[in-house]
Amino acid sequence: MTKATARAYPNIALVKYWGKRDSTLMLPLTGSMSMTLDDFPTTTTVERTPEAAADHFELNGEVIEGEPLRRVTKFLDLVREQAGIREFAAVRSKNEVPTAAGLASSASGFAALALAASKAYDLSLDPADVSRLARRGSGSATRSVIPHFAVWRAGDDETSVAEAIDAPDMRMIVVVVNAGNKEISSREAMKRTALTSPFNDAWVSSTEQALESMMSACADNDFTRIGRITETNALRMHATIQACDPPILYLAPTSLAIFNKVRELRESGLEAYATADAGPNVCVIARPEDADAVAAALVEFGSVRTMAPGPGAELLADSE
Ligand code: PMV
């Protein structure tokens, strides 16, 4: 094959990845667990271009240069090295995450790129291998290769891959909060956390425990425990990040208002739990039958979108 197209979806962690043990191999400090979403995919075509003198990268029809192109080339270099093929490639990506949605596109982006590039360069990889490769592009991409729910073990270069885990069916209600302030990248903020947050060691040990509890809550099909672990782990991550010097505040007043509202919903008998990544948007999990009522209670805070567990990275038909 010299050309392949793959599609992958974003994921939201219920136990967060925050911090690297090795930033070249992209090994995380702890394991993490996530739900892959069923909307906002990235679709990427990789086509080998034997005549070209460099890689070419287009995102939503626009030619991209600078740092994003450098990241794509660095990633393709790994694929070329594994394949023993030196040819450059044209990468055309379509991101369906509306720019304002604030959902990380690096997870879906590198998961789709890993699968498309591995096929275009004739590597025959199983899903664990694709997950391992995607990890080198962006940590959270490791998990987007896997459908529905994924657990990514810290491990070493060989074993640090994501695999599927059974969890009770649930919905994720994404509340997009328009905070207007420019975020510090997760890469930058992870570095600052490791260097300056006095809570970093406690974050690592409590997250290791949270992941073990999450695995047993999933095995028990226990949505309540899953929700409690999710919300506590997210707030611990933000507490750790806020304790950096200089501090980093990802949560906006509206984000906190949503966490409070979700607690009120629980007190009134509607079970839901909140989480948030490196930004002001809040994602709320609920049982499928409660999702509409939870979404309706959150529309006052921003635009709301309800998502179900979604597919893993998949190859599309036009590959040749
Ligand atoms: O791999 P990155 O740079 O997208 O980092 C992801 C960090 C969080 O989204 C905050 C947590 C996670 O586990 O996805």
Domain boundaries in the chain?
3-166, 171-307
The ipTM assigned to this model is: 0.98
Q: Which atom of ligand 1 is nearest to the CA of 16?
A: 13
- Terminus-to-terminus CA distance in the chain, angstroms? 5
pLDDT band per the 50, 70, 90 thresholds, residue 319: low
More confident residue, 99 or 62: 62
Q: What CATH number is given for 3-166 in this structure?
A: 3.30.230.10
Residues with CB under 6 Å of ligand 1 are 13, 16-18, 32, 104, 106-107, 138-140, 186-187, 277-278
* Four-point Cα dihedral 169, 234, 106, 148, nearest 10: -10
Q: Give pLDDT tens digits for 81-92.
A: 999 999 999 999
DSSP 148-205: SEEEE----TTT--EEE------EEEEEE----SPPPPHHHHHHHHHHH-TTHHHHHH
CA of 139 to the centre of ligand 1 (A): 7
Q: What CATH number is given for 171-307 in this structure?
A: 3.30.70.890
Ligand 1 pocket test: pick from 17, 75, 241 the residue with the most ligand atoms within 8 Å of its Cβ: 17
User: Atom 8, ligand 1: which residue's CA is nearest?
Assistant: 277
pLDDT band per the 50, 70, 90 thresholds, residue 99: low
Q: pTM value?
A: 0.96
- The pLDDT assigned to 178 comes to 75
Q: Which atom of ligand 1 is nearest to the CA of 15?
A: 13
Ligand 1 pocket test: pick from 9, 15, 18, 187 the residue with the most ligand atoms within 8 Å of its Cβ: 18
92 forms beta bridges with 45, 58
- pLDDT of 104 higher than 70: no
CA of 105 to the centre of ligand 1 (A): 10
Q: Convert 79-93 to b/e letters by CB count within 10 Å (16 or more is b).
A: bbeebebebbbbbbb
CA of 268 to the centre of ligand 1 (A): 32
User: Atom 10, ligand 1: which residue's CA is nearest?
Assistant: 277
pLDDT band per the 50, 70, 90 thresholds, residue 101: low
Mean pLDDT (whole number) for 5-34: 97
Q: Give pLDDT tens digits for 113-153.
A: 999 999 999 999 999 999 999 999 999 999 999 999 999 99
CA of 280 to the centre of ligand 1 (A): 14
Share of the chain above pLDDT 70, in %: 96
